[in-house]
Amino acid sequence: MSTENLVQQDAIAKLKEMIDAMDIGMLGSYPVETGYMHAVPMSRQEVDDEGAIWFLFSNESDSYAHFEQQDKATLLYSDINKYSFLSINGHAVVSRDKERIEKYWNKMMEGWFDKGKDDPRIRVLKIVPSEAHYWDNKSNKLITLIKVAAGALTGQKADTGRQGDLDF
């Protein structure tokens, strides 16, 4: 696996490409009581031009309570079919931004917020990445495993993809 570290706009483009392809990731918050990550699955609403990842969530959630204590956040994404993975550390910004709620509102949200867009529990969550690392294969899992096996048999290094840091 080759290393390809990306910076600025290239890093943001890679982040957006991977998150858009995977959509649902694990959002980690850090309760002060334990210090261990508490993770829940979340579907992103958007990755913006600055690389921030946006969500809608409830002020009744454990994640909300944890972000009230500290803004430390981790996002973990994986696509096991493509053998691609993404790890993001950053900080959370929570708001009641009405414009963002309007922008991100869709039918799926109605299942979570039965009072509609004006539900007092709705919060906007913005994760601002501080650091990220990706693993991205050039082919699917099966082809990658075949390349690795062939490399083991021939003694040649298999080209299984790339990995690197994303610096914003």
| C-alpha neighbours within 13 Å on the C-beta side of residue 99 | 0
Count of the separate structural domains present in the chain: 1
Residues of the chain with pLDDT under 70: 138-160
Give me the pLDDT at residue 122, please.
98
pLDDT of 161: 82
Q: Quote the pLDDT of residue 9.
A: 97
Asked if residue 130 lies in contact with residue 90, where contact means CB atoms within 8 angstroms, the answer is: yes
**The domain that contains 22 carries what CATH number?**
2.30.110.10
Domain extent, residue 146, equals 2-167
Amino acid at position 124, single letter: V
